[in-house]
Amino acid sequence: MTAINSATLGIQQGFRTLERAAKAAAPTDKNDGNNRILDSVILQIQAREEVSVNISLLKTQQAMTKSLLDILL
């Protein structure tokens, strides 16, 4: 497994961790609950967008490296 593939898998695991964190952050106090849940969801969405960009960059880098190796070989 290449380093790029490992990084991609790590990012995907990060998605699952973020989901668990968002669920765990949900408070039981109904007065403050909505704001904390909303903040948690917003942070989760932002993190997913950042991770998605990183995955795309890693896949692009992997394709470019393969193309370069094909040219050199």
Q: What is the pLDDT of residues 10-40, one digit of tens each?
A: 777 777 777 767 666 666 666 565 677 777 7
Alpha-carbon distance values, 15 to 23, 33, 71 (Å): 13, 23, 35
| Rounded CA separation 46/38 (Å) | 12
Could you tell me the pLDDT band of residue 65, with boundaries at 50, 70 and 90?
A: confident
Query: What global pTM score does this model have?
Result: 0.46
- Domain region containing 59: 3-72
- Domains held by the chain: number: 1
| Rounded CA separation 68/23 (Å) | 43
